[in-house]
Amino acid sequence: MLLVKILLGLIGLGVVVFVHELGHFLAARAVGITVEAFSIGWGKPILKKKVGEVEYRLGMFPVGGYCKMSGENEFQKAYESKANAIAPVKGTFYGAAPWRRILVSFAGPAFNLLFAVLILSIIWGVGFEVNTLDNRIVLVSDMETGTLYPADQGGLKTGDKIIDINGKPVATYHDIQELIATNPEKNLPVQVERDGEIVDLVVRPDLDKSSGAGKIGVYFWSDPVIKSVVEGSPASIAGLQSGDRITRINGEEFAYTVALFRILRDQPPILTVDFEREGRPGMPGIPMHTEIILSYGDTGSADIGIAYENIQFHTPTLGPIGALVKGGQETWKTFVLSIKSLGLLFRGIDLTQAVSGPVRITYMVGDIAAESFSHSLGAGFSSVANFLALISIALCIMNLLPLPVLDGGMILLFLIEIIKRKPLHPRYISAFQTVGVVLIFGLMFFAVFGDILFLARR
């Protein structure tokens, strides 16, 4: 299964990189810059074929890729020969006008953004299944006594239905997560429905330094109605079935599913379960009783084998124009959220957990693909496409940062050249790129180190 996840992850990540490099490739060809090689993957080519003046390659390491343009390293040769300027040879990267080089540098990130719009438009055009929970909450402090969280300090209570955060209506737990996660350490007006009344509160999310997200200390409420039971699991052996509503466990009222965390904390060997099973249509449920025998693994947790009911609906299919508009809106929304998340990197968070490297991204793509396709083909495609859109947008933003080596750094150099109205000295370009290599390798150190820790935890 792990190999399947890795394979799916490599394919997904390869698509995003291909789109990025395709942008550079097409833009270079359009402005008259010669492309020498176009590769998916790094390292020694295991497959290559020359078509015209371009050699197409498949690298040994199938993560990343590149578009090699004629003369793109001429600045280094000019620096080593102590020349005052790079010789402007026609058809080479530095032989092109600065605005052409800017266009080529910008095309990669732009193609990633357009790719996100395209696949999100397709998803919204076809429609997709949504599995979610409603907007009721359970305080974490009810599960872990002795600790207070921002939700407690703000006056929230278990059973509250959050209907508005910071002036934005919310209907599902996903809406709540998004608004809380992207606003750490900010006072947020929160409106809840409690016992039929509207209550106005203010909550200030803590900054989770392991992820960079805001958190307030809530779980999301799920009614204890069984959706499915894994065959051969402890719940199946005890006779529980789909549609049963659990009312009490070990004598404790069981109003919401996360209460099981508190019950299992002391690792009881047996759960005594009271539940109701529907009789004839329109009749009250039949009270029943059973016992579940548990076994705890090395992690100290027990898998009972129950999945609970959630809210499930299919989004409406949209016409071509409507789907394109929605795809653009979702892309912009994700773009803005990603920019806000990027800002959190400078607020003392743990980079080894918050920054993902190629290994972790590959694993996550494959994990989402394997999990989603196990439910249905449609769920698999929509989940993977959504995640690839997110990665594509992240790649766009990262490459537009005005840092050396990245596309944004190159654009900055060429803008300076336009403003000065003369070519930059090779030693300035060389120094700029050298700093970039140090910065990128430093970031990659944190990313790869974090990936190793991530895989060890897995």
Residues annotated as part of the active site: 21
DSSP state of 234: H
User: How many Å apart are CA 433 and CA 107, to the nearest integer?
Assistant: 20
CB 235 within 8 A of CB 257: no
Distance (Å, whole) CA 267 – CA 265: 5
Dist. CA 221–CA 261, nearest whole Å: 13
CA distance 266 to 249: 14
What SS3 state is found at 108? helix
Question: Of 291, 307, 300, 274, nearest to 234 (Cα)?
Answer: 291
- Residue for token pair 């449920």: 285
Dig out the tokens for 226 from the structure: 């069984």
Is the distance from CB of 241 to CB of 277 less than 8 angstroms?
A: yes
Q: What three-state secondary structure class fits 313?
A: strand
Q: How far apart are CA 172 and CA 34, in angstroms?
A: 52
Neighbours of 242 (CB within 10 A): 12
Strand pairing report for 245-249 and 252-253:
antiparallel
Q: Which residues pair with 9 in a beta bridge?
A: none
